[in-house]
Structure 1
């Protein structure tokens, strides 16, 4: 499946973390060791470590995403920096680093790492919080845009607006399509805007209540217009 999608031009990133508790990276060494382990297991590390456990065989993901919502956080900058060093070992393709912070700024768990390491994409969760897209006056994309131009190490970092794919996809923050379109259109001219992130795709494809044939296609059309 990974290779099939990649042959269609789709990038595959492995996301770490989530809402489940009992994880974290507490030290520089833990961060660097985790980067090496994930690189050998899912990235191009099999080329240097022939004995590495490879659940996907020689298929390699296109990068890693930090969706950190719990636990110790001090080792994530070291993780990103070490992973970037590993990326340089495989020049056969481009690899990416992404993060999925929650919208309150700065994010408690990855805010420091976002300032201290190089990210290609930041897919902000604009739901389940006061700064969600659905709350027009509190929607704080402008704050993240200011960070992208002033604080991000990568001045070409791309920001994605994260939204639920249906009313049941998140606790709160689902955006009816008409409202979503009115919020997204002004962002499309901003240098930082990269697109829309949906949690999750299956919910968006099954959601036909606001736009036809489905919410996912509506988002595609909105971005392409």
Structure 2
């Protein structure tokens, strides 16, 4: 189930994700997972020790922009008001020592975030650089660990100035992660994949999926359920053979760690993704 602070991001479920990394990445697929919105999902150390994930998106920084003091929301994992989320600094480094990229996700379905101008976007980018990436600050919400990049999970408000924020972050760190609207079936998903891989200048693309078929519906057992869930056998037989033929294939993204614990989706698909 979705947590009390974040509704189910159903329209993200079949999104195409692109990631542009400064570092060189070997051409093999990996699984990206969202973590941070259900305390029952466990901690980052345990997540990374499973050996199933190449990327972890910490969700969410959901208050920022318009001069607001940015605030991270990790549901029941920690209390940012008392600097409680700094306990994850060592866990982030633990993941990175295992060569897992750890990103911060901006936005979500709830929260209070929007950008009012290019100057506002630049100020937010400076905050992210100094407090979460390679800059210097005495008020880093996740401690002194240096994250590998920023994930854009923008679900509300105006569409203005996000490109400016991405551009400023690119200038600082050359590491970005985007999501885009969903597709309703495997055919439209693969058509969108072909268009994006050809038209967008990016090194790697990811296919975004949900890790659990919620809510159940009349199309359960077909190629795509109403929630956007693609059964593992359909993913392995219809989607991955096509997307893996691209030199820009990076892997898949799963929402989210808690759902994955319930169904073991990442375990089922791992050998087919890599």
2:251 paired residue among 195, 201, 204: 195
The reply to whether residue 159 of structure 1 matches residue 245 of structure 2 is no
2:234 paired residue among 179, 194, 198: 179
Contact 1:18–1:69, Cα closer than 8 Å, also in 2: yes
Corresponding residue of 1:86: 172
2:177 paired residue among 71, 94, 98: 98
Q: Equivalents in 2 of 1:2, 1:62: separation in Å?
A: 10
Structure 1 residue 169, shift from structure 2 partner:
7.7
Q: Equivalents in 1 of 2:193, 2:113: separation in Å?
A: 26
Deviates more, 1:163-172 or 1:181-190: 163-172
The reply to whether residue 140 of structure 1 matches residue 196 of structure 2 is no
TM-score (norm 2): 0.58
Contact 1:201–1:216, Cα closer than 8 Å, also in 2: no
More strand, by proportion: 2
Structure 1 residue 148, shift from structure 2 partner:
3.0
Q: Which 4+ stretches in 1 moved above 6 angstroms? A: none
SS of residue matched to 1:194? strand
Q: Larger relative contact order (C-alpha < 8 A, sep ≥ 6)?
A: 2
Q: Equivalents in 2 of 1:101, 1:162: separation in Å?
A: 9
Structure 1 residue 71, shift from structure 2 partner:
0.6
The reply to whether residue 64 of structure 1 matches residue 150 of structure 2 is yes
Distance 1:144 1:31, change over 3 A: farther
Distance 1:148 1:185, change over 3 A: closer
SS of residue matched to 2:101? coil
Corresponding residue of 1:34: 124
